[in-house]
Amino acid sequence: DKSTFLRQIGHIVILAQIGSYVPAEYCKISLVDQLFTRVGASDNISQGESTFLVEMNEASYILNNSTKNSFIILDEIGRGTSTFDGLALAWSITEFIHNNKKNKARTLFATHYHELIYLAEELKDAFNLNVEVKEFNDQIIFLRKIIKGGASKSYGIQVAKMAGMPISVIERAKVLLEQFMQEKVKIDTVSNNIPKIKNQLNLFNDNLLFLEEIKKIKVEDMTPIEALNALNELKKKYDN
């Protein structure tokens, strides 16, 4: 994924800096005075610093200490606060690095804010890259290639499915995503515009059949072994 790509570039910069071989057929990297990274999310409870404050502290240090000869790796900026605050900060930081002659370091900035894609059209030295993905039967295949251009969409729901998230959560997320995309409403007010679901299982025909079969089972008339066998049969029938 993008984090792997960012770390890979960081390692290559260090290897090239010390005169080592690098895993590439051809590589052209100039000298780097400092390598700055803002990667991962963690808090600093002992000092009373939230995850977002730690993120901002790290980003602030980078902006105040980098030079045009530095190399900066930013893996998400602003994701720890509200959507609009985060987007505004990410946008502003990108412009600052690009437009400030003193701090205009070579930078890799990975983000899920699709709005930032359009910055490449406004900033002459900025360009977009994305991880190539193929979709097949509602499944995604990461081709492990970096290609030019911005990603047309995110694949968060598909990745959640790959991770084994309950199917009811996945299907509900799809319904919500479609609603968000159609109405373009803010996340914090969208709940007022979406019909509430009294029973999550009612979304799916299979689950309706499952409930009907459950109702037909007379547990009081079954032995423990018969109950276990009935449960096993249902599991085999509906296990996805």
pLDDT digits (tens, 9 = 90+) for 112-127: 888 888 888 889 999 9
CA distance 15 to 37: 16
The helix (run of H) or strand (run of E) holding residue 91 is helix 83-99
Mean model confidence pLDDT for the chain: 81
pLDDT score of 156: 83
The helix (run of H) or strand (run of E) holding residue 159 is helix 156-162
> pLDDT band at residue 239, thresholds of 50, 70 and 90?
low
Residue 109's DSSP bridge partners are 74
CA distance 221 to 224: 10
Q: For the chain, how are helix, strand and coil distributed in percent, rounded to 5?
A: 50, 15, 35
> pLDDT band at residue 210, thresholds of 50, 70 and 90?
low
> pLDDT band at residue 2, thresholds of 50, 70 and 90?
confident
Q: What is the mean pLDDT of residues 181-203?
A: 50
Whether 68 shows a pLDDT value over 70: the answer reads yes
CA distance 28 to 70: 15
More confident residue, 57 or 80: 57
Q: What is the mean pLDDT of residues 8-29?
A: 90
**How far does CA 69 lie from the centroid of its chain?**
30
pLDDT score of 202: 43
End-to-end CA distance of the chain: 27
pLDDT digits (tens, 9 = 90+) for 72-95: 999 888 877 777 888 889 999 999
